[in-house]
Amino acid sequence: MKVLVAVKRLVDYSVKVRVKADHSGVDLAGVKMSLNPFDEIAVEEAVRLKEKGSATEIVVVTIGDKSCQDSLRTALALGADRAIHIETSLETQPLGVAQALKALVERESPELVILGKQAIDDDCNQTGQMLSALLGWPQGTFISKLTVKNKEIEVIREVDGGLETLQMPLPAVLTTDLRLNEPRYATLPNIMKAKQKPLEILTAEALGVDLSPHLKTLSVSEPPGRKAGIKVETVDQLIDKLRNEAKVI
C-alpha cells in the first residue's frame, strides 16, 4: 500500500508572531519555521503503518517556494521514502492545494492519503475534506486511532459528543488529530540519510492546476489585549457585574 502524506512549512508553534507595519500579513523575517504539528503526526502514522507491514512506500508532498524543501527533508528524516515539491511563489489556499493534491493522487495512485486536520497558521481545516470530495473517496477526519484490515480501514474520530468509529474501504483520505500518536524525533543518521533520498520538483502547470488565490486578505491585525481581571467581595457583586457589565446573564 502506497501512502501519500501532505505537509506544510509554517511559523513554529512556539514563536510569537508579529504583524507587518502595513497590516498586509505576518512578518516572517528571521522567524523560526517548522513542520506543521498535525502534519508531523500524519508522517508518524504513515511510518508506523510501514513498520507494521501495512504500507510499502511513503511519499511526502508539500506546496510552496524553495524554502519548503526543508520540511520535506524533515519528513524524509522521520521515515518517508521520497518527496515531491510542487513549487510555487503564490499564496496557497485550501481549494488550490486540494486540487493540486488530487492531480498528484491521480499521478501517484496511492491507496491512502493522510493530512494534518489543519495548519496552525490559518486553522482552515478544509483541505482534507475538499480533497475527499474532489476524488470521491471516503474520508475520516480528526482521527485518534487507525486500524488497517486488508482493503478496509477502521478509524476512531473525535466529535463533539465523544468518539465515533467508522469503517471504510480503501482508497481513502484521513486527517489526523493530536491524540493519534506522538511523533518521533529525527536522529542524526536519519537526517544524513534524508539528504540522499529522492526529492522531485514539479510545477502546478505540469499538473494542470491553477494555484491562483480565490480569496484576498484585506488586512491583518493583532487581537486586542485582554483587560486586567478584578476581584469581587461577594456573590451579589459578581452577579451584578455579570448582569450589568458583561451582559451575560
**What pLDDT was estimated at residue 47?**
96
Q: What pLDDT is stored for residue 227 in this prediction?
A: 81
Largest CA distance in the chain: 69
What pLDDT shows up at residue 105? Answer: 95
pLDDT confidence of residue 244: 87
Per-residue confidence (pLDDT) for residue 8, from 0 to 100:
94
The reported pTM is: 0.84
Q: Which pLDDT value is given to residue 151?
A: 85
Question: Do the Cβ atoms of 77 and 186 come closer than 8 Å?
Answer: yes
Sign of the dihedral defined by the CA atoms of residues 181, 153, 127, 55, in that order: positive
Domains of the chain: 2-222 (3.40.50.620)
Residues with Cβ within 8 Å of residue 103, at least 6 apart in sequence: 207, 208, 209
Instruction: Please identify every stretch of the chain with a pLDDT value under 50, giving residue numbers as ranges.
Output: none
Cell of 95: 481549494
Dihedral of the alpha carbons of 36, 141, 85, 9, in degrees to the nearest 10: -10
Rounded to whole angstroms, the Cα distance separating 173 from 188 reads: 32
